[in-house]
Structure 1
Amino acid sequence: MSLSRRSCLLAGAAAGTLPFSLLPRTAHAGAQIEEPLIDSVRNALISAVRSSAPPKPEFSNTASRLAFLRWLGEMSERLKKKIPGHQERIEFLQTVWYESRRAGLDVSLVLGLVQVESNFRKFAVSSAGARGLMQVMPFWTRVIGDGDSSKLFHMQTNLRFGCVILRHYLDREAGDLFMTLGRYNGSRGRAPYPNAVFSNQRLWVFNDRRDDSG
């Protein structure tokens, strides 16, 4: 966007003639760094992102289903200010729950990361060019996708890529979450980003207070 165009938008917003929601929204997180992948890892990542399974929760028993519904209700309340639309909020939560579990990640960690990376804005773009909810760098669509980086603004696609990439980094770092988050952010070994994610993760921890005595 040109400086004159941006200046006009800012002036309009300040004057009350243009809502701030129409201003360009930039994410202020870092970005993954492209690294060589051996064929077996690349193929595994390709397979992981191409799975066509829909983000529909599946449960082996009624208790698990009810626990999920309690989580969904609580998280929906917490997320109201970030995602006002009820249907969009429920679809996001169902998808992030599914993709987190599919990748073997703690959903509260993924929600904390999304808050730090994009503040739950699916059209967020960082200064480095990372896109969407989990701020995925476009090179990933070339390396393990179909090359269409515009799909990173699609909720499920972005969450699928983000969770698969985070799992890949977690495996590379032998389970060290601190180093994993730094690698995801492009700031490996430095504390500010991992600490921010851990801090925000606490906002999304679910303590199921259901009484089992009855």
Structure 2
Amino acid sequence: MSQASLSSSISTQGFHFTVSTTVNVASWQESGQCSLHVLHDLDPHVYADQYELAQRPGYTSALWGSSDLERPVSAVDQAGSVLLLTADSSHLFPGQAANITLEVPLHARYGRPVAGAQDAYHMIELKRPVGFFACSLDHVTPVPDALRQYTSLSGWPSLSLSLIPDTSPRAGLKMVVPVGKLDDLPWVDVGTAAVMITMFFYLLVASIRTARRLFSKPSMKTD
């Protein structure tokens, strides 16, 4: 495959964030013979919503590992998950230079509460995305070390693989998410119990009033 480079960045907003990866291809020379992929090896604190990914233009995706959207980090497989993007290169022609950007929406799970005087947040540092080409070649090439552990995944590309150099700054892709404090747990329990009791009596009174209104006999007017 012709010379290419990759760079990634992250933008965050609360529990939601987007990882953007741009692949710069100097000259697309083997249209139809190569596919472009970006691999995300996700920390267990992070998940990708498959339904949201399906609505994103410019790529298709495959996801392996834990994808339950509701569970906190303490209730999922600590191995995390693997997300593979396959870029749509149908619009590229041989000899064409291209900048292909793949934006991945990700979400942070609810983290473990902290105790004592610790700050109530958790720092998550993601592994940097890995870009590569999967090409149909007449000869077999060795699998790059960075991809070797993923080749046993069902549906993984079986063609010859070649890495795309990452030219972005080596600083990690970091995000900060708020977490609960164990010291606040008693107050949360008291508040939750008070709300539940209040709602119980409210519903009880509303039910009694409704029952009386439905079953009361209309008064008969007499002359």
For the criterion TM > 0.5, the same-fold answer is no
Please identify which structure carries the higher helix content.
Answer: 1
Question: Could you say which structure has the larger radius of gyration?
Answer: 2
- Please, what TM-score do these two structures have when normalized by structure 1? 0.21
